[in-house]
Amino acid sequence: QVQVVESGGGVVQPGRSLRLSCAASGFTFSHYGMHWVRQAPGKGLEWVAFIEFDGGNKYYVESVKGRFTISRDNSKNTLYLQMNSLRGEDTAVYYCARDQLDYWGQGTLVTVSS
Amino acid sequence: SYELTQPSSVSVSPGQTARITCSGDVLAVKSARWFQQKPGQAPVLMIYKDNERPSGIPDRFSGSSSGTTVTLTISGAQVEDEADFYCYSATDNNRGVFGGGTKLTVL
């Protein structure tokens, strides 16, 4: 069955970096674009980034442009989100999801705090 | 900027019909999806392409579209339908945008 599992969350100080991973299984990963979506505590969903199936094009929400980088390794069926210069407002549960947003992981919590 | 506007809350009694709207200029040219999210859980896709239902989603959930507004209708809402609902659309610059979410109360 289709499954995506996020990992890599944790507590990090403002200004530091963190890399999230999303391991995919149950489908041909290299055929699908992938999203990152986040949800701050008690808040709504926010779309963060999208990468096309082959990594050729990448798109970001304005608030993370220049700080976050979405990437993928199709040989490892894994999606990544490199987060640099983290801020308090980046504190959230980060979800990965397949391109039609039909399959989501359970999320990984990132807390940015000193 | 791209924005989708939803009511913050909707309340119905069990068995009644609940309607949740989502408005935004982008909906005139792009289709919408609807997600249900229960506390502590990941979102679940309920409707795509404005009115299509994924397999496994009860047929009491339906979607419609008119101009710049899409509507999620829950016919005969049940207590277990109580959740947060979010609309979503891709934008014409290849990004995505979610509505602010609607808390549905069924009691």
From the list A61, A101, A105, which residue is nearest B95 (CB)? A61
Give the integer Cα–Cα distance in Å for B6 and B27. 13
From the list B44, B48, B100, which residue is nearest A44 (CB)? B100
Q: Which of B55, B97, B98, B104 to mutate to test the interface with A (most CBs of A within 10 A)?
A: B98
Per CB-CB distance under 8 Å, the chain A contacts of B98 are 37, 44-47
Q: Which of A6, A22, A45 to mutate to test the interface with B (most CBs of B within 10 A)?
A: A45
Residue range B44-87, pLDDT digits in tens: 999 999 999 999 999 999 999 999 999 999 999 999 999 999 99
- Degrees to nearest 5, angle at CA A40 with A103 and B20: 65
Residue range A32-49, pLDDT digits in tens: 999 999 999 999 999 999
pLDDT value at position A49? 97
**Interface touch A100/B88, C-beta < 8 Å:** no
> Looking at the complex, does the CB of residue B34 fall below 8 Å from at least one CB of chain A?
no
**Average pLDDT score over chain B:** 96
- The residues of A whose Cβ lies within 8 A of any Cβ of B are 35, 37, 44-47, 50, 57, 59-61, 95, 100-102, 104-107
Nearest CA in chain A to B3: A46
pLDDT value at position B1? 65
Name residues whose C-beta falls within 8 Å of residue A47's C-beta, 6 or more positions apart in sequence.
A35, A37, A61, B88, B95, B96, B97, B98
Give me the sign of the Cα torsion angle A108, A112, B1, B6: positive
pLDDT value at position B50? 97
Shortest distance between the Cα of B34 and any Cα of chain A, in A, equals 10
Residue range A3-24, pLDDT digits in tens: 999 999 999 999 999 999 999 9
DSSP string for residues in B19-73 = EEEEE-GGGGTS-EEEEEE-TTS--EEEEBTTTB--TTS-TTEEEEEETTEEEEE
Closest CA to A33 of A5, A8, A58, A11: A58
Give the integer Cα–Cα distance in Å for B32 and B85. 13
**Interface touch A95/B42, C-beta < 8 Å:** yes
Q: Which of A47, A51, A64 to mutate to test the interface with B (most CBs of B within 10 A)?
A: A47
pLDDT value at position B93? 81
Shortest distance between the Cα of B67 and any Cα of chain A, in A, equals 22
How many CB atoms lie under 10 A from the CB of residue A94? Answer: 23
